[in-house]
Amino acid sequence: MNQALMQMTVSGALMGLVYALVAYGFQLTYATSKSINFGQGELVMVSAFFSLTLTDLGLPYYLMIPGGLLFGVVAGLFVERAGVRLALEQKSEGWILMTIILGLFGFSAAENIWGRDDRPFPTPISSDPIQLFGISITPLEISVAVGVFMIMAVIELFKRKTLLGKAFEAVSADRDAAELMGISATRTIMLSYGLSGLVAALAGILISPITTVGPTMASALVLKAFSVAVVAGLESGFGVVIVGLFLGSLESLTSYYVGSGWREAPGLVLLILALAVRPTGIFGKGVIRKV
């Protein structure tokens, strides 16, 4: 029984890491613009389909990855231009609707271009399980974990070490002050959407071999990612990893011990509770209302 507990915790935690990665994409844009892409799930899915097409065209796996990521960046920039910028200029929350609409379009386009069926995503990484301390785990799952940590580390380093990254941090900290210092907030927001698209594309490429590629592949995923991002706090950086791991294992354990139909419930309750008690998230900062 104890072994089952371990197995469930580990396999849930791995899923949780993917939640965290998508949630991280939300954080990137929220930091600079206080907006997130409600169509992020569709972005994950469309990027995955695009990468699959690259593979079908005969591109080897490791060359396909940069191609897929580039597509994610472009798609992210498109979302910013078409769905977010106008609303931000008008200081309205119109971006919520606009990104939902863009997501809807992406969904329908994918359905018609790539078909409604789920399709397998080839990968050179093995999916034959290996035993680690009595727990079954596949190299594929390990690659997901490695990929998630790697991309987050790279982006955090970029933010801290490069000039562009520092501009990013400056706009996140205080947009008005940054603009007075000559940093273009618009460009930085574009950068953040590009990065967010990149993260989404990577998430798509990483999970596709496990979950297969289909128009609905990310709709459940993105709901969890929302929860993770909000519970952790939309501005909290690595908090998403902790919350992601926690939520993933919690779900997995719930479905094992309570019943698989209730799998989604703890995450949702957690989200509503977290919002009620700490609207800025567990790792978020409080805000002072100024008048």
Residues 129-168 that bind other proteins (CB under 8 A): 129, 136, 138
DSSP 8-state class, residue 130: E
Distance CA 82, CA 161 (A): 30
Burial degree of 59 (CB within 10 A; 0-12, 13-18, 19+): middle
Decide: is 126 part of the binding site for other proteins (CB under 8 A): no
Task: Report the sign of the C-alpha dihedral through residues 238, 239, 241, 242, in that order.
Answer: positive
Lay out the site mask for other proteins across 19-48 (x = CB under 8 A, - = otherwise).
Answer: -----------x---xxx-x----------
d(CA 158, CA 160): 5
Position among 96, 142, 145, 185 found at the interface with other proteins (CB under 8 A) = 96
| Region near other proteins per CB under 8 A, out of 72-80, 89-97, 158-166, 188-196 | 89-97
127, 160, 181, 184: which one binds other proteins (CB under 8 A): 127
Q: Which of 19, 114, 193, 226 binds other proteins (CB under 8 A)?
A: 226
Which of the ranges 117-125, 143-151, 164-172, 192-200 carries the binding residues for other proteins, by CB under 8 A?
117-125
Instruction: Give, for 132, the enclosing helix (H) or strand (E).
Output: strand 130-132
Supply the minimum distance, in Å, between the C-beta of residue 271 and other proteins. Answer: 5
Q: What is the DSSP string of 134-187?
A: TEEE-HHHHHHHHHHHHHHHHHHHHHHHSHHHHHHHHHHH-HHHHHHTT--HHH
Closer CB to other proteins, 11 or 196, in the complex: 11
* Number of chain residues interacting with other proteins (CB under 8 A): 76
Question: Which of 52-60's residues contact partners 24+ apart within 8 Å by CB, and which partners?
Answer: 52/114, 52/119, 52/121, 52/208, 52/213, 53/114, 55/121, 55/122
Q: Is residue 228 helix, strand or coil?
A: helix
Binds other proteins (CB under 8 A): choice among 211, 239, 246, 250: 211
Distance CA 267, CA 272 (A): 9
Neighbours of 98 (CB within 10 A): 21
Region binding other proteins by CB under 8 A among candidate stretches 50-58, 147-155, 239-247, 262-270? 262-270
CA distance 205 to 217: 12
**Toward other proteins, which CB reaches closer, 63 or 220?**
220
- The DSSP element (H or E) to which 230 belongs, if any, is helix 219-232
The nearer residue to other proteins, 70 or 135, going by C-beta atoms, is: 135
CB under 8 A: which stretch of 68-76, 82-90, 144-152, 167-175 binds other proteins? 82-90
Q: With binding defined as CB under 8 A, does residue 264 bind other proteins?
A: yes
Can you tell me which of 53, 143, 186, 219 binds other proteins, judged by CB under 8 A?
Answer: 219
Binds other proteins by CB under 8 A, chosen from 56, 117, 174, 177? 117
Please pick, from the candidates 98, 144, 155, 189, the single residue that binds other proteins as defined by CB under 8 A: 98
- Min dist. Cβ of residue 229 to other proteins (A): 9
Judged by CB under 8 A, which of 59, 74, 100, 142 binds other proteins? 100
8 Å CB contact between 9 and 70: no
